[in-house]
């Protein structure tokens, strides 16, 4: 699988699925979650309510429609909240590996990822990037491209540096 980085808006990516850094309730929120719900329209929230009436656990992944976005699906993951004391890196890694497993289940070959937990949840950005790059590169999947979406030039430069300095495994 090719892991790439693109600076831009995750909601406008022309991919099979976009990954949403959701909260446990799965009812919309701020940051990436709010942007995805706004761009996807009410269909995303309706599908979240129907498919996940009790939400999702931290580290878990599940899919819904992407509503009005160019992508076909949204793969929702619930990252650990560093600020609230959830600091188990395996939960962060499971967001990426779980999203790839869901992508395989639904047949998605191109998937756009945000940096899970690196925003309001406060995960240190350098470790969030390392967890994303290492997990995406080491997880067995039928996905052909995992696209990390950088929000801003600084994030793009940091992710690009990690991609070039952290050799692919295997």
State pTM to two decimals: 0.96
Query: Averaged in consecutive runs of 10 residues, what is the pLDDT profile of the chain (170 residues)?
Result: 97 98 93 96 97 97 98 98 97 98 98 96 97 97 98 96 82
Q: What is the DSSP letter of 30?
A: S
pLDDT at residue 99, as a whole number? 98
Taking the C-alpha atoms of residue 150 and residue 99, their distance in angstroms, rounded to an integer, is: 18
Output the pLDDT for position 167: 72
Q: Which residue has the tokens 């890694």?
A: 93
pLDDT given at position 42: 97
Active site residue 126: no
Residue with tokens 């609230």: 84
Cβ count near 51 (within 10 Å): 14
Identified catalytic residue from 33, 47, 104, 126? 33
Helix axes of 42-51 and 31-40: crossing angle, nearest 10 degrees: 110
Q: What is the CATH number of domain 2-165?
A: 3.40.220.10
- pLDDT tens track for 47-89: 999 999 999 999 999 999 999 999 999 999 999 999 999 999 9
């Amino acid at each position: 699988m090719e892991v790439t980085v693109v600076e831009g808006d995750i909601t406008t990516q022309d991919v099979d699925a976009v990954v949403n850094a959701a909260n446990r309730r799965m009812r919309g929120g701020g940051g990436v979650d709010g942007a995805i719900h706004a761009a996807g329209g009410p269909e995303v929230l309706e599908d979240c309510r129907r498919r996940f009436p009790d939400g999702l656990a931290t580290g878990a992944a599940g899919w819904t429609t992407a509503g009005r976005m160019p992508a076909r699906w949204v793969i929702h993951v619930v990252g650990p909240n560093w600020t609230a004391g959830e600091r188990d890196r395996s939960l962060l890694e499971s967001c990426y590996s779980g999203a790839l497993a869901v992508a395989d289940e639904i047949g998605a070959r191109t998937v756009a990822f945000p940096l899970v937990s690196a925003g309001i949840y406060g995960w240190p950005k350098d470790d969030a990037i390392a967890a994303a790059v290492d997990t995406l590169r080491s997880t067995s999947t039928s996905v052909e491209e995992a696209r990390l979406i950088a929000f801003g030039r600084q994030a793009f430069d940091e992710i690009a540096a990690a991609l070039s300095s952290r050799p692919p495994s295997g």
